Structure 1
């Protein structure tokens, strides 16, 4: 949900209030304007408007102010403003989530965890579990997280898909991959007996929003003399179709490891345009633009012969490549000079669009680095209620999953 949508939803909910409790027309207009400015990344004008709106007691002024400061990595100031908002709105879940993120960035993780755990007593939003999972980094925290889930929901195998995914993330960050694998194996076995209903939800990839996100990242990184290049599906769309792939779900770019990943993350946290999301590998940076577009930034390790980049469950290897500029979406982007070889290594016959493409099955240059995580990926693909898989793809996923499970069982202990 965008910031603008959040503001609109907040004010829509005021219809439940009595006439004297509802915000004034002025507050509604100011709230809408603040949401728009934040969605545009126009922080200078937003700060002026927040300062003006706060004088009239507009409820969301300090919330938007804190959000803006958070996006610029001005965490101490962000904490001050979110606390001012919470004085007026002590049960604002979104404000508590933001405060928890601020506290984590300030190095106060335990305070963030305590805040989120306390929220469980007064809100049923699943997002609370997602934020709490993001704070899990060791065995004690994982066991506490599992205990809380059992306390609230009972049998872990009956958790919703989203909650099971949050639990899996907590398992990954605390070295409990076997726990997560057993969880999904049981869910898969149960699904075969009693399949869960599919949803009608279809998540659409907005090419316009994605183009803007890519352009904004280029402008920002150019200012800091950091070059990136298009890879994977983003490169395929660029070269073959002259546009971003309509069925894609994110943007993929590469950066050579001459750029320090921690430095890059620090810069992106100050951008005012991007959130930094949890990543599955230390050499992967996941960004989310204000418009909701996700950008995966893969750090590439090039030894002059082979160039590799990593995900949580696998790595991809290509012959080393030189870079060249290519005009795309109204700007010049770097791409592999021999893009034909690069894309052939990635996709085989890349010129022919593939029906039922899956990154785990259809990328010849992929090498599994973590069999348990790959199995979990396949289980999640098969069990995702929002994934509308064809019969052919479902059969291929199941066949590959059976092969992987067999190889895991055959590995020496």
Structure 2
């Protein structure tokens, strides 16, 4: 929307499909028919962890993948996000986190010479996902920077995010490690107790 074309610093393509319209079998069949041009690198299922009335915890998983990573033989990566509408929210995500949006309709736009569909109220959709989307940001971390992010709060999610912090510390990128810890604390995923961090189970 800002550039009117592909972003020069971006490295993949994100595509969305409604959960009710998504048929994984059709996608697999299309990949098979591509004669090796495309392959599926990974499929992620969104696992939820919710507290129940008796003080226990209930886990459940969606029947369809929530994110599929496709790779073209040229190395181009396309992320297929499945959008779920429930309780007045349209969200998409991964096994680690999700991003919540207000319900939206679609409109046609042009990406270079290609006609594509996107949220009709582009300003609202982009603001929910990126904040000030009119100002270019070359380093945007989808795990902590989106204003509309929610974490799944599963052990898998917390382990993945903790590994990111550890990797930053090993690389001497202390500011990035602190950003992750502060984002997780603000979201209520972890709590600081003195010199230690505790997973809020």
Same structural fold, with TM-score higher than 0.5 when normalized by the shorter chain: yes
Displacement of 1:339 in angstroms is: 0.6
Give unpaired runs (5+ residues) of structure 1.
Answer: 1-238
Structure with greater proportional helix content: 1
CA distance 1:319–1:244, change in 2 (3 Å)? same
TM-score (norm 2): 0.72
Q: How far apart are the structure 2 equivalents of 1:388 and 1:251?
A: 28
Q: Bigger radius of gyration, 1 or 2?
A: 1
Give unpaired runs (5+ residues) of structure 2.
Answer: 46-64, 192-196
Displacement of 1:396 in angstroms is: 0.9
Structure with greater proportional strand content: 2
Secondary structure, aligned partner of 2:75: coil
Displacement of 1:268 in angstroms is: 2.2
Corresponding residue for residue 112 of structure 2: 329
Given that 1:261 and 1:285 are in contact with CA atoms closer than 8 Å, whether structure 2 keeps it comes out as no
**Which residue, out of 348, 357, 368, partners 2:151?**
368
Corresponding residue for residue 189 of structure 2: 404
Q: How far apart are the structure 1 equivalents of 2:165 and 2:105?
A: 38
Verify: 1:271 aligned to 2:34, yes or no.
yes
Alpha-carbon deviations, 1:341-370, whole Å to 9, x = none?
000111111111236431121112121113
Alpha-carbon deviations, 1:204-244, whole Å to 9, x = none?
xxxxxxxxxxxxxxxxxxxxxxxxxxxxxxxxxxx112333
TM-score (norm 1): 0.37
Q: How far apart are the structure 1 equivalents of 2:157 and 2:120?
A: 31
Verify: 1:256 aligned to 2:18, yes or no.
yes
Q: Which runs of 4+ in 1 moved over 6 A?
A: none
Given that 1:300 and 1:308 are in contact with CA atoms closer than 8 Å, whether structure 2 keeps it comes out as yes
CA distance 1:290–1:242, change in 2 (3 Å)? same
Secondary structure, aligned partner of 1:267: helix
Given that 1:371 and 1:408 are in contact with CA atoms closer than 8 Å, whether structure 2 keeps it comes out as no
Which protein, 1 or 2, shows the higher relative CO under an 8 Å CA cutoff with sep ≥ 6? Answer: 2
Corresponding residue for residue 100 of structure 2: 317
Q: How far apart are the structure 2 equivalents of 1:264 and 1:380?
A: 32
